[in-house]
Structure 1
Amino acid sequence: MLSLNKIFTKLVKGKNGNASRKPEEPIIVPRAEHDISRKQISQNALNVLYTLKDAGFEAYLVGGCVRDLLLGHEPKDFDVSTNALPEQVHKLFRRSRLIGRRFKLVHVRFGREVIEVATFRAPPGANGDVDAQGRIVQDNVYGTLEQDAWRRDFTVNALYYNIRDFSIIDYTGGIEDLNAGVIRLIGDVETRYREDPVRMLRALRFVAKLGLQVDAKTEQGIFNWGSLLKDIPPARLFDETLKLYLSGNAAVTHELLCHYGLFDHMYPQTAVLLHQEEDNYPRTLLMKALENTDSRIDANKPVTPAFLFAAILWEPVRQRMQLLMENGMPEIPAMQRAASEVITDQIQRVAIPKRYSLVTRDIWTLQPRLTKRQGKRAFKSLLHPKFRAAYDFLALRSDAGEPLAELVDWWTTFQDVSATEQQTMVDTLGGEPQGRKPRRRRRRRKPAAKKSQDQE
């Protein structure tokens, strides 16, 4: 934060030549007055910037990477803004591709790293690119650097790093807001939220990630227009869910989503039950899952969205399964049906791709199977491809207060002992012994048909 404080102090004192600027002119922070160095910037991003510059185009780092560098954080990725059209950018880079329809841009690939390059955008609305609700449906109207700055979402994301002279350009007051620790929408709050309701989710993600506070008007708008999230395509909300919950701040982010009522619009089945919780359940299970997710990310361990969705939707599945069982359905079929119904309802709001939903279903349907260990059942469960995820979920349920500690301990031991000891553990449970085959029913033969006198 030292760099930011130094910049802000000089802006206030007018030592950088911006004191006499006109209101419509940007604040320009020269290289000597900020601490952003090219050594902190991805070499691949620098290659893109210099290639655009050498081709005669304007080129800037923009958005979160500039914001994070000023705050002393290491950027997760680097985005570039330019006056070159997407097709012109695509021609400059061999390993690039055009993507998007509503918002066309270029991805330039360097191995695993992707540098996103976007052309300056003009304000929406002039060419019928906003629908009746005020939502942007087409955003390929190109403009100037200044127009691009004013159409961005938050002031702290509208900062540009100029590769020509290494200065920082600020049209919207982003440096001042960063110094004050504030997330503020650019322009009229209702208009900006109606243009893209996902901006509400982004605001809360930045609060959780950066420890900033939401400006009063920006905050009130979330309460007023949170229901607009219902109109966002489920596939896009799936992408936003991953950003919200798999960025290392899941527990704090979830509390914010619930506080502002946005979780209700994304996961209504779970939200209703969270409001009706008893003895701090099911909130305890979900929060423990989110804390565990944060811990794994901090330790650079892998996390799977399937486990996250299993935790978010567990309580609706559990209650629906119990209702089906009360109506006479056996436990495992009841679990299978409950899982299908809950996922079917959920994907109307937040899409869950099959590569994740199938794993989520396996985690759930293995829960009742893990209670059935006699005979060959324990060995079959242990060999299931998703056993480990199901076992971890069983342990999570135990940690959340369900009376499953003894069962978790049994499976913990069962995984680590020899095959002979495993067999002894199963035999100790009683019931059907290992190797005993179920009795087969003898098929009754049909009586031979009587021959007619003609056949004799």
Structure 2
Amino acid sequence: MLIRYTTGKNGKPVPLAKVYTAEEHGIDTSLIDYDAVRIARRLRRHGFQAYVVGGAVRDLLVGRVPKDFDMATDASPGQIRKLFRNSRTIGKRFRLVHIFFHDRKIIEVTTFRSLEDTGFNAVYGTIEEDAARRDFTLNSLYYDTEQNQVLDYTGGYEDIRARIVRPVIPLPRLFTEDPVRMIRAVKYQVRTGFRLTFRLRRRLQRSVGLLADTPPSRMSEEVFKIMMSGNSAGIVRSCYDFRMLQYMVPHLAAALRSDSDFATRFFRSLGTLDAHVLEHPADSRAVALAYFCAEFFYTRSEAGQQRRISTGDAYTELKQFLKPVTPPNREVEMAVQLLVRRRKAYHAAGEFSVPGNPELVEERKSRPRRRRRRSGRNQSSTAKKSE
């Protein structure tokens, strides 16, 4: 193991990070996305630092194929955009760059953030400051694709080996600054099979009420990430056990609490969704939404139990069921179409399921109806005038 140092105020070397070599970390380089390597190579060629960061490094260390590859660099968003024409800048306050590839693949590139970055003043910083801003240690590792080394500023490497989820940010600030970190902590626990440290678990249990003030946009983003994770059944169950689900999707939490049969069918539907996502990771969010709402729609909604389903009523009931989650209207409409079309299959099989990569029906623009011809031709009642 190597050590990265900096110079202290007294002029003496101060250790900053542990650096794990290829022999120590054992990452299978064949699992690394080639486009991520190309991004890092181009950034370095122009004098910038570039690392694979976050969940991708965590997954690589445990031998899993990462679902996404995120990058971190000291290049500003403007400098990144100049180097990659297939990119777009997003974000209102702290801007980051999405680089687009074929098959709808996106690699997110962020600039190192400073510890002084608070409020509406976006401040860029160093890699060590960026590591100190990360939420949990297992997501604060940086992988150097050129040197094949893992940089660890927070002890995340040892925590992954010990299979624990531990925060980087001090516990008194962790959830008060951002309550959504509670959802992420549970998500990491389920996805990795690691355990939350005792102090983290206790703090989470005491802080659940903070989720009540989460903006609907943030909650919607996290719930959709859960749906598309391939681990939705375990994550939603853990959120329910921690009493977090009542703030995420309160109507669902109430249904699970009051009806054990509904709970059994709902989690079975999420298990089917997870298998579908793993087999068809590029499917639309509307498909995931249909799986998520299926049991409610077929067994508890008024529209879903009608002989002739009103899509307008079904749309309204699904929107109400999902609150405060606010999916785009178009995705709810597409989910309703799927649920209506698959109702007979649901009742026949006892569970909701969608064939691989279904083509969702697009709404047809209203066209003027063609007038149907009558069977008999109208005889003209007018006679030619005789001269």
Q: Give the TM-score band, short-chain normalised.
A: 0.7 to 0.9
Check whether the contact 1:317–1:338 (CA below 8 A) recurs between aligned residues.
Answer: no
Partner of 1:84: 75
* Residue identity matched to 1:291: G
| SS, match of residue 26 in structure 1 | strand
Distance 1:40 1:275, change over 3 A: closer
- The alpha-carbon deviation at position 233 of structure 1 amounts to 2.8
Query: Secondary structure of 2:261's partner?
Result: coil
Letter in 1 for 2:345: D
Aligned residue in 1 for 2:360: none
Whole-angstrom CA distance in 2 between matches of 1:109 and 1:178: 30
Change (3 A) 1:355 1:338: closer
Secondary structure of the structure 2 residue equivalent to 1:221: helix
Alpha carbons 2:138, 2:165 under 8 Å: kept: yes
Could you report, residue by residue, the CA deviation over 1:22-46 in whole angstroms, capped at 9, with x for unpaired residues?
Answer: 8852111133433225433211111
2:106 to 98, 114, 117: 114
Contact 2:135–2:168 (8 Å) recurs in 1 = yes
Listed one character per residue, the Cα deviations across residues 200-232 of structure 1 (whole Å, up to 9, x for unaligned) are 112212222111111122222322222333333
Match of 2:132 in 1: 150
The answer to whether 1:390 aligns with 2:335 is no
Tell me which amino acid in the other structure corresponds to 2:293: A
Cross-structure match for 1:282:
262
Partner of 1:391, secondary structure, is helix
Q: Which moved more, 1:247-256 or 1:149-158?
A: 247-256
d(CA) in 1 for partners of 2:19 and 2:234?
A: 35
User: Comparing both structures, which one devotes a greater share of its residues to strand?
Assistant: 2
Match for residue 161 of structure 2?
179
State yes or no: 1:105 paired with 2:87: no
Out of 25, 28, 40, which is 1:34 matched to? 25
Note the residue ranges of structure 2 that are not aligned, 5 or more in a row: 7-12, 353-387
Q: Is the 8 A contact 2:68 2:107 kept in 1?
A: yes
| Alpha-carbon contact 1:285-1:311 (below 8 Å) kept | no
TM-score between the two structures when normalised by the length of structure 1 = 0.67
Bigger Rg, structure 1 or 2: 1
The question of whether the paired residues in 2 share the 8 Å contact of 1:234 and 1:347 is answered with: no
CA root-mean-square deviation:
3.1
1:348 Cα deviation after fit: 4.2
| Kept after mapping to 2: 8 A contact 1:309/1:360 | no
Equivalent position of 1:354 in the other structure:
329
Task: Report the Cα distance in structure 2 between the residues aligned to 1:228 and 1:309, rounded to whole angstroms.
Answer: 25
Partner Cα distance (1:109, 1:83) in 2: 20
Provide the TM-score with structure 2 as the length reference: 0.78
Displacement of 1:141 after TM fit?
1.7
% identical aligned pairs: 32
Correspondence for 1:221: 203
- What is the rounded CA distance, in whole Å, between the counterparts of 1:240 and 1:20 in structure 2? 37
Q: Distance in 1 between matches of 2:317 and 2:209?
A: 21
Q: Is the 8 A contact 1:183 1:213 kept in 2?
A: yes
Aligned to 2:356: none
2:249–2:323 Cα contact (<8 Å) kept: no
What residue in structure 2 maps to residue 242 of structure 1?
A: 224
Q: Is the 8 A contact 1:230 1:349 kept in 2?
A: no
Show structure 1 runs of 5+ residues with no match: 1-15, 130-137, 326-330, 365-385, 401-456
- How does 1:37-76 map onto structure 2 within 5 Å? 37-76=28-67
Structure with the higher fraction of residues in helix conformation:
1
Give the alignment of 1:305-320 within 5 angstroms: 305-311=288-294, 313-314=296-297, 317-318=300-301
Query: How many residues of Structure 1 are paired with residues of Structure 2 in the alignment?
Result: 342
Give the drift of 1:103. 2.9
**Inter-partner Cα distance in structure 2 for 1:351 and 1:173:** 37
Q: Which amino acid aligns with 1:88?
A: Q
Identify the match of residue 210 of structure 1 among 174, 192, 197.
192
**Counterpart code for 1:392:** A
Give the residue type in structure 2 aligned to 1:218: L
- How far apart are residue 106 of structure 1 and its match? 0.7
What residue in structure 2 maps to residue 438 of structure 1?
none
Structure-2 separation of matches of 1:257 and 1:59: 35
**Cα deviation digits, residues 232-285 of structure 1 (max 9, x gap):** 3323322322221232222212211111111111111121232222xx221122
Q: Is the 8 A contact 1:269 1:316 kept in 2?
A: no
Opposite residue 137 of structure 2, the aligned amino acid is T
Whole-Å separation in 2 of the counterparts to 1:395 and 1:288: 16
Task: Describe the superposition over 1:75-124 as per-residue Cα deviations: whole angstroms up to 9, x where unpaired.
Answer: 1121111111111111111111111113310111222322211000012x
Letter in 2 for 1:115: I
| Alignment CA distance shift 1:194-1:234 (3 Å) | same
